[in-house]
Amino acid sequence: MIYYYGRVSTDHQENSAANQRQVFEGLAAEHGQPHMILIDKDVSGTVPLKERPEGKVLWDLVSPGDTVVTAKLDRAFRNVGDAANCLGVWRPLGVKLKILDFPVDISTDEGELMFLTIANIAQYENRLRGRRVREVYEYRKRNNLPYSKTRPFGWVRDGDKWAVLHKERQIADMLAEWIAEGCTYRGAASKLCLKNIPKPVARPSKRNRTARCWYDSQDVKCLLLARANGYPTISQVQMRDALRDGTLASKGSNAPQTNT
């Protein structure tokens, strides 16, 4: 039995699920042997093979004498420990692992050594990439620049800067009036729902442009806390932590760069 295994974390054209499946189907037609194609979608390579949905199916089905084929090394493994573990289990069983862009016989001692060496280098490069991402993240955070997918309350990302999200600040003003009149936080959240006022959508989802997200009592508290502190450019998670702890870690931070 031949198992063709692929993985995609994002839908880049050269590594897309459709492209990998097309390659596998061509190979299967050429060999004419019983086969199964398994492709994990939206799964990070840092997740061990047997913990991925389709990877677990492969792990449970593979038997002595079978062959596992993958298009590229990083489609199957990003962690040298995971690669070594798979080889340690499969090789004694006579399970062959073939990587299309790695023309070396991994079933030999020399091939296994080269394979694990390349896997080690790939893991190191992945860690370097993660380190660079964290450095950029910290730089942008220190300089009040957009640094994550989430936005602060009252702000919206506009290119490489923060821009005032007037609609949400108007909602905050309305909430402040309701609370001053004796409305509870939960009641204020319900009132927004009854008035059909969802959270402003900065960037509509490509998957569902009509989806709406509603404020709950915790959101109401955080939005009002942001309003009371001049809308600091801290993440919504940090704002919730500040609400819980009674502090605002970034209260004295520099004013954010904005687009008007």
- The reported pLDDT for the residue numbered 14 is 54
Structural domain contains residue 76: yes
The Cα 25–Cα 192 span in angstroms is 53
Same domain, 174 and 235: yes
- Higher per-residue pLDDT: 258 or 241: 241
Residues 25-79 have pLDDT tens digits of 999 998 888 999 999 988 888 888 999 999 999 999 999 999 999 988 888 887 7
Which pLDDT score, from 0 to 100, does residue 187 have?
95
Query: So what's the pLDDT on residue 57?
Result: 96
The number of folded domains in the chain is: 2
Q: Is 233 exposed, middle or buried (0-12, 13-18, 19+ CB in 10 A)?
A: buried
Residues 54 and 155 in one domain: no
Co-location of 120 and 153 in the same domain: no
Q: What is the CATH classification number for the domain harbouring 111?
A: 3.40.50.1390
Which DSSP string corresponds to 124-189?
A: HHHHHHHHHHHHHHHHHHHTT---SSS--TTEEEETTEEEE-HHHHHHHHHHHHHHHTT--HHHHH
pLDDT range class, residue 221, cuts 50, 70, 90: very high
pLDDT bin (cut points 50, 70, 90) of residue 245 is confident
Q: How confident is the model over 190-205, as pLDDT tens digits?
A: 999 999 999 987 554 4
Q: Per the domain annotation, does 77 fall within a domain?
A: yes
Structure confidence by residue, pLDDT tens digits, 149-201: 778 999 988 888 888 999 999 999 999 999 999 999 999 999 999 999 999 87
Whether residue 155 contacts residue 231, with contact meaning beta carbons closer than 8 Å, is answered with: yes
Residue 256 has pLDDT above 50, yes or no: no
Report pLDDT digits (tens) over 71-107.
Answer: 888 888 877 788 888 888 998 999 998 888 887 787 7
Q: Are residues 102 and 176 in the same domain?
A: no
81 found inside a domain:
yes
Residue 153 and residue 49 in one domain: no
Q: Do the Cβ atoms of 49 and 55 come closer than 8 Å?
A: yes
Q: Indicate the length of the chain as a whole number.
A: 260
Q: Which H or E run contains 223?
A: helix 217-228
Residue 225 shares a structural domain with residue 118: no
Q: Do residue 8 and residue 76 come from a single domain?
A: yes
In a shared domain, residues 127 and 211: no
Residue ranges of alpha helices (H) inside 64-104 are 73-76, 80-93
Name residue, tokens 């508290």. Answer: 221
Which residues, in sequence order, are CB contacts of 100 under 8 Å at separation 6+?
A: 23, 69, 70, 71, 72
- Expressed as residue numbers, the domain containing 153 is 148-245
pLDDT for position 103: 76
Question: How many CB atoms sit inside 10 A of residue 260's CB?
Answer: 6
Are 92 and 169 found together in one domain?
A: no
User: For position 101, what pLDDT does the model report?
Assistant: 82
Q: Across the chain, what does the average pLDDT equal?
A: 83
- pLDDT average, residue stretch 111-120: 81
CA angle (8 as vertex; 205, 70 as ends), nearest 5: 170
Domain shared by 181 and 114, yes or no: no
- Indicate if 124 and 222 belong to the same structural domain: no
Q: How far is CA 260 from CA 143, 156, 202, 257, in A?
A: 18, 11, 16, 10
Whether 14 and 122 share a structural domain = yes
Q: What pLDDT score does 12 carry?
A: 52
> Is the pLDDT confidence value at 216 over 90?
yes
Top-confidence range, 16-30, 112-126, 218-232: 218-232
